[in-house]
Amino acid sequence: MLGDMGATQPLLLHPGCPRPDDPGITAVLDLCAAVLQADWVQLVLSQEGEGDSMTYAHGTAEGGGNSRDLEVNDAFSAMILFGGDSDPSTDILRSLSAALAIALDRHQLRQQTAVLQAALDSTSSSVLLFDRRGDILYANPPADGLLSLQTEDDLLVETEGNAPLPLFSVLSSLVERVASSGGEKPAWQGTMQSLDGRVLACEVTPLPSMRSLPDTVLVLLQYLGSEPAVRIDSFCLTHNLSPREKEVVKLLVEGLTTLAMAERLGISPHTVRDHLKNLYRKTGTSSRSELLGLASRTAPATTGMPA
């Protein structure tokens, strides 16, 4: 089943035995009792290589009983014990094994879903799933917050050669383009800037086909900061500035004097001047005004903008 979902290996390598009240296991026990015409049934489930096991019961065991092994999968071994004189055929045991395998697969998928849900709910990134038409199938809490912002404030982003458009209209257009391109993953990466100066990093990736869902596209959005702050970060990265030099540049942009920068940073004015000299050398400038002009002209790092 995991292979049908495009996974090369389970997310949880050791999913553990289901709880005693697992509905899938309860259904398997009911099936065993009915097929074997047994007053009671016990299922002993063991994890291969782990030493952990769990016993599940249907009815109360009385007197002696029979036992048979069930073939499940590589992760578990299983045995049923049951009361009565039934002698199940190979076909019956195969059917019971298949039912148990399905119950365990569903249990593991529920566990994986819970882990993924917790991870998506806790991340600061906005995560969205779109269908190939650009309709939203899923949004985690940060993405839902963006959707609310879009509705309330008409969140607009700049585009090349066009008037500003609502963020989710741009995303839907990108999704439709990616879904029909069949290109390498991720199909689109870049930054988007809203009219109020906020900058979002964006990645759009088509997901493997799944039987139970239409073709889906994953969109990741991460708030980087305001446009001026992103420009400064990009400027410092481009010129390989040290953390202290980056602090000096930020204070310079704020308009602080050498003395004020020294007080803010807890260093001497002489040390501030040394940092400024290093900044001039690294950036090829010779004055504060040249340095500020170069920093203001540095574009935020991006690999493309939506058209």
| pLDDT of the residue at 14 | 63
**Nearest CA-CA partner of 66 in 92, 46, 48:** 92
| pLDDT of the residue at 184 | 53
Residue 160 or residue 220, greater confidence? 220
| pLDDT of the residue at 234 | 77
Residue with tokens 């991006």: 302
Residue 17: count other Cβ atoms within 10 Å of its Cβ: 19
Report the b/e string of 206-229 with b at 16+ CB within 10 A: beeeeeeeeebbbbbbeebeebee
CA–CA gap between residue 239 and residue 97 (Å, rounded): 64
Sorted by sequence, the CB contacts under 8 Å of residue 130 that are 6+ apart come out as 136, 137, 171, 172, 175, 216, 217, 219
Contact between residue 215 and residue 132 where contact means Cβ atoms under 8 Å apart: yes
Q: At residue 217, does pLDDT exceed 60?
A: yes
| This prediction's pTM | 0.57
What percent of the chain clears pLDDT 70, i.e. is strictly above it?
83
**Nearest CA-CA partner of 203 in 188, 192, 223, 182:** 188
Contact between residue 116 and residue 11 where contact means Cβ atoms under 8 Å apart: yes
For 152-201, the pLDDT digits (tens) are 556 788 776 667 888 888 898 888 888 877 655 557 888 887 776 677 88
List, in order of start, the domains of the chain with CATH numbers: 3-121 (3.30.450), 124-227 (3.30.450.20), 229-297 (1.10.10.10)
| pLDDT of the residue at 302 | 45
| pLDDT of the residue at 270 | 94
Q: At residue 307, does pLDDT exceed 60?
A: no
